[in-house]
A and B are shown apart, each in its own frame.
Chain A
Amino acid sequence: MEAPPVTVMPVTGGTINMMEYLLQGSVLDLALESLLHRLRGLCDNMEPETFTDHELVYLLKGQQGNPFILRARRALSHPNAPWHLRYLGQPEVGDKNRYALVRNCVDVAASHSLPEFLNEMGFRMDHEFVTSGHIFRKGAMKVVVCNVSRVQLPGNTENTERMSNSHLVELSVLAPAGQDTVSEDMRSFAEQLKPLIHLEKIDPSKQRH
C-alpha cells in the first residue's frame, strides 16, 4: 500500500488511512437537469448545494523522476473559508469484485498562506482549473456534478473557459482501508442513474494519451 512520504504525514492520525472509493462519469449539458432532478429524488433530503472551486495542483519533483503531488483547493464563493489540501494516492483498479476505483486519500484544512508555504517547500504549481457545480449526499456517499474550466491566465479565475459541453459526475465514499463493501452500495446507486449516465471505474492512466 502506498503512503505519502513521512515528511508530509500529518501528525494527527485518524484520517491517515482513509481510502477514497470512486466512480466517475459525465453528463451532457442537455441532460443535466434530468440528472439533477433524479439526484434530488435519490439523495438525502437536503437543500441542494452548489460550489465553485479553484484547484491548484502542485508537484514536488524527486530524483527518481516521480513527482509528489498535492492538490490545493479553495472555494471561490467563500473566500474566507480555509483552503483544502489533499493528497491522492495511486488509484487501484482492482478486480471485478470491487466495483469502484480505490485510492489513498488525505484531507487537511489549511490557512490562506498555503500556496506560499508549498512554494517555500519546493512545490511548484503544475496546472490549475476551476470546477463549479452541485453536491449531493446519500448517507456516506457523495455525488459531485460539476463542469471543469481552464484558467486562461495563471491565477485569474475570472477568465475561464469550459472544457466541454459535459459535466463531470463523481460518486465517492471515504472509508477506512479494506472496507470494499461500500463499493457495492455505490454500484447499486450507480445502477439507479442508468441509462441517464454510466458511472464507471475509469483508470486515469489509460486516459493519459
Chain B
Amino acid sequence: NDRSSRVFQQREEKQLEASVDTLISLVAHVKNALQSFIAKLENEYERLTWPSVLDNFALLSGQLNTINRLLKNEKTPSFRSQVIIPLVLSQERDDDLAKLTEKRVPVFSHEIVPDYLRTKPDPEVEEQEKQLSAEAARIGPDAAQKQIQTLNKMCSNLLEKLNNPREDRDAESAASRQNKASFNPSDTNALVAAVAFGKGLSKCRPPGPVAPGIPGQGPMMSGGPTLQQVTIGGAAGQQAGMGGPVAPQQLGQPGKIPSSIKTNIKSASGSIHPYNR
C-alpha cells in the first residue's frame, strides 16, 4: 500500500514535470514570435504590410490558444493546486538567476518576489472586483440589454457626428457670422468719445445756485466752454501760447491764483473767470 502510493506520487511528479516542460517550450514559442514581431515593427515598419501584421497576430493568437488548451487538458495536473514558496530571499546578485531570466531578474529580493510570484490580485483589487461583479449581477438581463442598446446608440450618434464634422461646423460658423455681430461701431465711437472728452456723460455742476430750467448754464459753464465744446485741434493754439509772449505772464501768475479763485467761488453768477483779464 505504502509502495503503491509512492509509485502514484512518482507518476504524478513526472506528469507535472512533463507538463511544465511543455508549458515552458510553448511560452518560449510565444516569446520568440513576440520578439520577431516587435523587431519587425521597430525595424521594418516602412515595408511592413497590414496582411503580414495580421499574420503575426494570428500566429500569436494560435500559440496562446495552444497554451490554453494545454492548461485545460485533463491530463495536465492542476497548476493551481501547486504551491510555490520562496525559500531564500537575498539582496545579493544571483548570476544563475540573471542568466536564466535573460538578465531581467538579477536579484531574488523581497522587493521583487511579491510581484513575480503573485498568483492573485491585491486584496483591495480583489475586493473591488467582487463589488463590481456583485453590482453587475444585480442588474437584470433585460436592464442590461437596454443599457447596451443605449450605449450603442450613443456611440453610433457620436461616430456619425465625428464623420461629418465639416457640415456641422460650417453651418455653425456661418450662423455665428450672420446672426451675431460681436461689436457695434457706433458703440465704439460713443465709448471713445465718452472717455476722450465726456460726450454723453453728465456734466458736473459745482454746488451753488443753478438757474432752473436752463441746462448747461451752471456757474462754471459760463466762464468758458466745456471740454466737449472746445475743438480738440487746438494744439497749434496751445503751442503758440507756450512759445508766444503770453507764456511768461502765465508763469508769473501762480501767486495770484488762489485769491482770484475765491472771488470766483463767491461770485456764483460766474461773470468773472479767474483767467479773464
Q: Which of A13-21, A105-113, A117-125, A179-187 contacts B (4 or more CB under 8 A)?
A: A117-125
Instruction: Determine the residue in chain A with the shortest Cβ distance to B235.
Output: A90
A208 touching B183 in the complex, CB below 8 Å, given contacts A7-B250, A65-B224: no
Contact B235 A67 (CB under 8 A): no
Chain A interface helix/strand/loop/mixed: mixed
Chain B min CB distance to A190 (Å): 13
- Give min CB distance, A63 to chain B, whole Å: 5
Residue B100 CB within 8 A of the other chain: no
Residues of A close to B238: CB separation below 8 A: 2, 64, 66, 68
- The 8 Å CB contact of A5, one of B199, B205, B250, is B250
24 CB contacts below 8 A, A to B, read A24-B192, A26-B191, A27-B183, A28-B182, A61-B224, A61-B273, A61-B274, A62-B241, A62-B250, A66-B237, A66-B238, A67-B224, A69-B227, A90-B232, A122-B261, A126-B226, A127-B203, A166-B188, A195-B182, A202-B189, A204-B197, A208-B193, A208-B231, A208-B232
Q: Judge whether B261 and A205 touch: CB under 8 Å.
A: no
- B141 at interface by CB-CB < 8 Å: no
Contact residues, A114-172 vs B (CB, 8 A): 120-122, 124-129, 131, 148, 150-152, 154, 163-166, 168
Complex: A125 Cα to B202 Cα, angstroms? 12
Minimum distance in angstroms from B113 CB to a CB of chain A:
48
Which chain A residue lies CB-closest to B244? A64
* B251 cross-chain contacts in A, Cβ below 8 A: 6-7
Residues of chain B touching chain A, judged by Cβ–Cβ distance below 8 Å, are: 177, 180-185, 187-206, 220, 223-228, 230-235, 237-242, 246-247, 250-251, 254, 257-258, 260-261, 273-277
How distant is A204 from chain B, measured CB to nearest CB, in Å? 4
Given contacts A26-B187, A31-B182, A122-B257, contact A129 B194 (CB under 8 A): yes
Give the residue of A35, A124, A202 whose beta carbon is less than 8 angstroms from that of B220: A124
Given contacts A28-B182, A127-B198, 11 further A-B contacts (CB under 8 A): A3-B242, A26-B187, A26-B188, A27-B182, A27-B183, A30-B182, A34-B182, A62-B275, A122-B274, A148-B195, A207-B192
Residues of B within 8 A of A154 (CB): 204-205
- Selected from A27, A122, A207, the residue in CB contact (under 8 A) with B196 is A207
Chain B residue at minimal CB-CB distance from A57? B198
In the complex, chain A residues whose CB is within 8 Å of the CB of B184: 26, 28, 164, 166
- Measured CB to CB, the closest approach of chain B to A89, in angstroms, equals 8
